[in-house]
Structure 1
Amino acid sequence: MTFHQLKIFCQVVESGSVTRASQVLGIPQPAATRAIRTLENEWGLALFDRAGRGLVLNDHGRLLYDYAKKVLTMTEDLQETMTSRKAEEDSSISIIVEAASHLFPHICTAFSALHPQAVFRALHRESPGQGGTGYPLRLFSSRERPTDPDTVVLADEEIKLAVPREGPLGDREVIRLAEVSQMGFVSLFKTRGLRQITDYYCQEAGFQPRIIFETDNTTTVTRYVSSGHGVAFIPILTWPAEEKDLQVHLVSVTQPACRRFINLSLDQRSGLSPYEGLFYDFLIDYFKKLQA
């Protein structure tokens, strides 16, 4: 017994004849007749009573018809569900976000304008780490340029020092990092990738930053400095422009020069959905334009 045979059987019942059922299904009449006979032989029961040239559904046939309709309905529902699931997977974008988290919603909005069917699954993670199961893409930062062949550098980003515009450093364009060693720093939590990078630069300059305000919110960092308190490291590309236009002045840092790389890695083991492939290319182009 096959789904095809059950479909033919139900159509014969509903059409009232093998001839009309064959026409509806677009199959030769002998093929429909064979399907009915195969079902009768398999069960050892006649499904129709023959009345001259016509067929009359008997009790056995009615029983099979009731079950066959349920089976075919469930099969159609299953097909629709699996087709929908496949379409959802094809349009899904699963990505771990460890850097540029404040810019990421803007990126997704721009991509969705081009691809309205896109569905994002973004895992925002504070601590830098490796890929996650089911998340083939990873957006992260690093102090050194990655050498992994499955990682592409999206941007080489300068990290400037945000100081109060009306403060003693408000007219400086360049500063050695050691000059602010005695000042209080406004910073992200130590688990954040940016914090780990800037802590390294402070160590290179010969001091450990004195943290006076620690937060997980990038907006708060800039606003706290704009109120006249402390200094803060600010990535110039990935922190939105509207948050740089407050009462802060951005100073380039030397000795050491402070920079970071924004990277996109691909977990080859997971494979990419069609939309993840599109988003991968989109991210590369987006950051290229951002730096232009």
Structure 2
Amino acid sequence: MDLRQLKYFVQIAESGNFSRAAEVLRIAQPSLSQQMKNLEEELGVELLLRHARGVTPTEIGQQLYDHARRILEEVERTRDVLRSQSLTPSGRVSVGLPTSACRGLSLPLLAAMAERQPNITLHIVEAMTGYLDDFIQMGRLDVALLYDHKAFKHVAWTEMMVEDLMLFAPPDHPVVAQGSISFREMFALPIVLPGAPNVMRTVIEQFAARHDVVPNAMACDSLPTIARMVCSRRALAVMPHFAFSDEMARGEMVAVPIVDPTPSWRLSVVVSQRTMNARGSEAVAKVMADVIAEMVSAGVWQAKLRGDRARPEAARVPIR
């Protein structure tokens, strides 16, 4: 049994039939079938159940699949570790981007990485900040952009900026003509926020508690659905300006400032200290910080850069 056979078996199990697996692996189907026959004969067990729709792993085959996936992942991680020791950052780096920033940041980040760090392959993961925070703590992500992230010992961060939260409404909504709305008055309107434990909900609820306001709001964890709710006049949304830049450019929404007081949150570029590709992760974090600072300075991203973070070369801040 060798790594090639394990790779073939995993692909067959995931594809559900030999022909599809052969296409993905770019080998002839008879050769693939022979490899699996040899593997079953070597192990003395039946690994795959053949049927009209394709194949499924037997009980023993499922055990082999679980072990094989872990082995292949560990081989890939080992390869990344060794590559990361070279002078030039390289290998695969997983990057978590919050839903509210992913649409606007992912393409500029990918373009900048292709230009500045072409030997690094990015794996972008989009999710709500709470999930990304957990993933970075566990080492399932190498780098992430997080809002008001939790401070744990297994990460290091660069606090990039402070972003004001705004109220989004259709262009013909009466609140747009007002020009602004107070934080307290806002909750007399139908408001939609992500549900708990999303960071947005937590920030708004804690901010409301400090100002003796009851934050009555619907819950929805889908940014596209929130956008549709606003456009259809079912609710108004509280989000950072950057979250709905596409909709505003198309004239579908208007961002109304929230005043007396204005809620805000902090954004940080976070690096897991459990990463298997430290050199690559640091390089990605640096490029991400550069890109964000450039977008803010150009007015594409409306936010306030933090002190010396206004310079793209700002240094990383380790957690105590």
> CA 1:241/1:263 → structure 2, altered by over 3 Å: closer, same or farther?
same
**Residue 234 of structure 1, CA deviation:** 1.9
SS at match of 1:263: strand
- Alpha-carbon distance in 2 for matches of 1:85, 1:289: 33
Q: Does 1:103 align with 2:93?
A: no
1:218 paired residue number: 223
1:175 paired residue number: 181
> CA 1:260/1:171 → structure 2, altered by over 3 Å: closer, same or farther?
same
Q: Does 1:278 align with 2:278?
A: no
2:114 paired residue number: 113
| TM-score (norm. length: structure 2) | 0.55
The count of residues paired between Structure 1 and Structure 2 equals 208
| Higher Cα Rg, which structure | 1
Q: Does 1:92 align with 2:92?
A: yes
> CA 1:112/1:154 → structure 2, altered by over 3 Å: closer, same or farther?
same
**Residue 271 of structure 1, CA deviation:** 6.4
CA RMSD, aligned part only?
Answer: 3.2
- Alpha-carbon distance in 2 for matches of 1:161, 1:240: 11
- Alpha-carbon distance in 2 for matches of 1:201, 1:163: 21
2:141 paired residue number: 135
- Alpha-carbon distance in 2 for matches of 1:111, 1:209: 40
- Alpha-carbon distance in 2 for matches of 1:132, 1:107: 27
1:70-122 Cα shifts (integer Å, max 9, x gaps): xxxxxxxxxxx99x934766321133444633434324422343244432234
SS at match of 1:170: helix
Paired residue type of 1:91: G
1:44 paired residue number: none
Any conservation in 2 of the 1:131–1:138 contact (CA below 8 Å)? no
**Residue 285 of structure 1, CA deviation:** 0.9
Paired residue type of 2:123: R
Paired residue type of 1:189: G
- Alpha-carbon distance in 2 for matches of 1:183, 1:196: 19
Identity score, percent: 14
> CA 1:232/1:160 → structure 2, altered by over 3 Å: closer, same or farther?
same
**Residue 235 of structure 1, CA deviation:** 0.5
Aligned pair partner of 1:163 in 153, 165, 169: 169
1:195-227 Cα shifts (integer Å, max 9, x gaps): 221222333343333334x33222322331122
**Unpaired runs of at least 5, structure 1:** 1-80
**Residue 269 of structure 1, CA deviation:** 4.9
- Alpha-carbon distance in 1 for matches of 2:171, 2:209: 26
- Alpha-carbon distance in 2 for matches of 1:208, 1:272: 45
- Alpha-carbon distance in 1 for matches of 2:152, 2:266: 12
Aligned pair partner of 1:207 in 210, 213, 223: 213
| TM-score (norm. length: structure 1) | 0.60
- Alpha-carbon distance in 2 for matches of 1:147, 1:88: 28
1:170-205 Cα shifts (integer Å, max 9, x gaps): 212222111122221122222322222122233334
**Unpaired runs of at least 5, structure 2:** 1-74, 85-89, 298-320
1:229 paired residue number: 234
1:18-61 Cα shifts (integer Å, max 9, x gaps): xxxxxxxxxxxxxxxxxxxxxxxxxxxxxxxxxxxxxxxxxxxx
With 89-98 and 244-253 compared, the bigger mean Cα shift is at 89-98
SS at match of 1:210: coil
SS at match of 1:262: strand
**Residue 290 of structure 1, CA deviation:** 1.4
> CA 1:243/1:204 → structure 2, altered by over 3 Å: closer, same or farther?
farther
> CA 1:283/1:167 → structure 2, altered by over 3 Å: closer, same or farther?
same
